[in-house]
Amino acid sequence: MMIRLPTTLVGLILVVNATLVAQEPTVEVTPRPKATNRSNATSADVIVYGATPGGFCAAIAAAREGASVILLEPTDHIGGMSTGGLSHCDSNQMVRSTVMGLFDEWHTRVVKDYTDRGFEAPYNPAKKDQTRWTFEPHVAMRVTLQMLEQAGVIVLTQRYLKSVTMVGPRITSLVTNSGTFTARVFVDGTYEGDLMAAAGVDWTIGREGREEYHESLAGKQYPKRKMIINGFDAEGKLLPLVTTDDAGNEEVGDGNVMTYSFRLCLTEDPNNRLPMPEPANYDPARFEIVRRALQAGTRVGFDLYPLPGGKLDGNNSIGGQFSLGLVGGGIDWHSADEAGRKMIWEVHKQYTLEFFHFLTTDPAMPAEIRNTYARLGLCKDEFATYNHFSPALYVRESRRMKGVYVISQKDILEQPEKDDPIAISSFPIDSHDCQRVALEGEGVINEGTIFPVRRVPGQGYAYHVPYRSILPRPAECDNLLVPVALSCTHVGISSLRIEGTWMIIGQSAGIAAALAADNDLAVQELSYPKLRKRLLVQGQALDLPDVPASPVAAIPSL
């Protein structure tokens, strides 16, 4: 039974499911022999570190080019957010005819998984419109593992990177907590750019100032309304969940990143519903700022997207003031070690459980909304080995490489065409909150949001992702490709940070890695015409769509 939410709960998005099934695409694949002693493998032509969507697509693509491939994942979870709860595919805001290759194949296989089991197709991947594509996490996981297995990729989990061995600008091996691994070419598939950082590649974190790349969306952003509430307690101290009383100069950059959260897979079906766990040591005082906001008429809650199987995908509300995102909680994620990230992960989980508890029990919440959320629970048939809670923290941005070419606002809105494209990105420029600021006198405001910058309603600007943007500078490293923490500004990553885009960039990185390994070339020396040929063979779209001239971008606000 599908949940019916009251009109007072903003963010519910209705979905009309497609019923047609696309034919599975054919891809020219180099046959690969069956691997032996897979769990003991320590050497390959290509090693991918990080099994995010960009990482696992890089591994599959390299293997299909005939390279031997090992995919190393520091956690025990494969697939990042695509299998970790982000089950409402954001490609509905993209030019879908340009998001092809492994992304298109993966979605076609997801739909086939449903129809092969006698279920209605949840959507039609052959129809490149703006309808919403949704799926269940366990189906996404099954399809991902099948594709890796069929490609002959050796997948090893719980291999946490400890150090990198280099000879000059070349990585020779990765030292992990469970073995040392060697390869000719490496791909950093992590959200955090961990491998590139360990290899000494230049990177940045946070936000640039407006003058650095002449970006109007850089620096501090205040599109949300100020809440006319007091952000301080009786002693003049900041209330919990307020991050600062000094946001800094509007024109200047800083080290803040957009908020992290979990994507919750929920249901109200009593046959599949498990109660949301009670938070340990819940302190109602932590939510005093939220009570004040509610009294001032502020939106509080999170977005819900219907999924197959009577489930819902719960997401941080970009338009809300208080939601699933722990504003300021991810600032130290990139620099934390394995234990530190586990601690930060637990802090975010604790906040999620506390926020849900607040929504469902606190008298300050309107009864209708409180009761609606209270009907929801975790799904018995999802994430069973993780107590049914998502194992993947939504790291929306982290380190970004400072590589051969830096993608910035102008590349998205003004100069979209490049001579060396490896993918087309078209998600709107879109950033969640970075700070929550208590103002002198009275007032609290969320800072950092960039509401979607779209070419037309419901769709972002299409632009080329150049090969140069995944390349380190040659003197720093000549056998590493970085498709996820690629070279771009904060404004750039606000558009690039989508799983579908990372999948196609990752695929192109995998093809380039295999070619560089086979020809014993530095990745910067790889012939683009040769790379382009193989990208097209593997189904990538590289020509910008024929659309009317881009209008002047309007910066939206709520």
Residues in a beta bridge with 69: 46
Phi, psi of 171 (to 5 degrees): -75, 130
Q: Which of 173, 207, 203, 206 is nearest to 190 (CA)?
A: 203
What number of H helices and E strands is found in the chain?
11, 22
Contact (Cβ atoms closer than 8 angstroms) between residue 463 and residue 547: no
Helical residues (DSSP H) of 152-213, grouped into ranges: 194-198
> pLDDT (tens digit, 0 to 9) for every residue of the chain, 558 residues total?
333 333 333 333 323 233 333 333 334 444 343 333 466 899 999 999 999 999 999 999 999 999 999 999 999 999 999 999 999 999 999 999 999 999 999 999 999 999 999 999 999 999 999 999 999 999 999 999 999 999 999 999 999 999 999 999 999 999 999 999 999 999 999 999 999 999 999 999 999 999 999 999 999 999 999 999 999 999 999 999 999 999 999 999 999 999 999 999 999 999 999 999 999 999 999 999 999 999 999 989 999 999 999 999 999 999 999 999 999 999 999 999 999 999 999 999 999 999 999 999 999 999 999 999 999 999 999 999 999 999 999 999 999 999 999 999 999 999 999 999 999 999 999 999 999 999 988 899 999 999 999 999 999 999 999 999 999 999 999 999 999 999 999 999 999 999 999 999 999 999 999 999 999 999 999 999 999 999 999 999 999 998 765 554 555 433
pLDDT at position 6 is: 35
Tell me the pairing of strands 444-447 and 435-438: antiparallel
CA atoms within 13 A on the CB side of 378: 21
Torsion of the alpha carbons at 178, 180, 183 and 188, rounded to the nearest 10? 50
Give the helix/strand (H/E) hosting 165.
strand 161-167
Q: How far, in Å, CA of 266 to CA of 274, rounded?
A: 9
Sequence-ordered list of residues with C-beta below 8 angstroms from that of 315, at least 6 positions apart, any chain: 11, 88, 261, 263, 264, 302, 303, 304, 305, 324
Contact (Cβ atoms closer than 8 angstroms) between residue 169 and residue 478: yes
Q: Which of 243, 262, 228, 203 is nearest to 448 (CA)?
A: 243
Domains, in order of start, for the chain: 38-205+453-537 (3.50.50.60)
Rg (CA), the chain: 23
Residue 263 structure tokens: 């994507």
Contact (Cβ atoms closer than 8 angstroms) between residue 191 and residue 184: no
Q: What is the pLDDT of residues 273-292, one digit of tens each?
A: 999 999 999 999 999 999 99
Query: Residue 445, Cβ neighbours under 10 Å: how many?
Result: 18
In this prediction the pTM is: 0.92
Q: What is the pLDDT of residues 387-398, one digit of tens each?
A: 999 999 999 999
Tell me the pairing of strands 480-481 and 179-188: parallel
Q: Which of 186, 252, 194 is nearest to 218 (CA)?
A: 252
Residue 43 structure tokens: 């050497």
Q: First CA to last CA across the chain, in angstroms?
A: 33
* Length, in residues, of the chain: 558
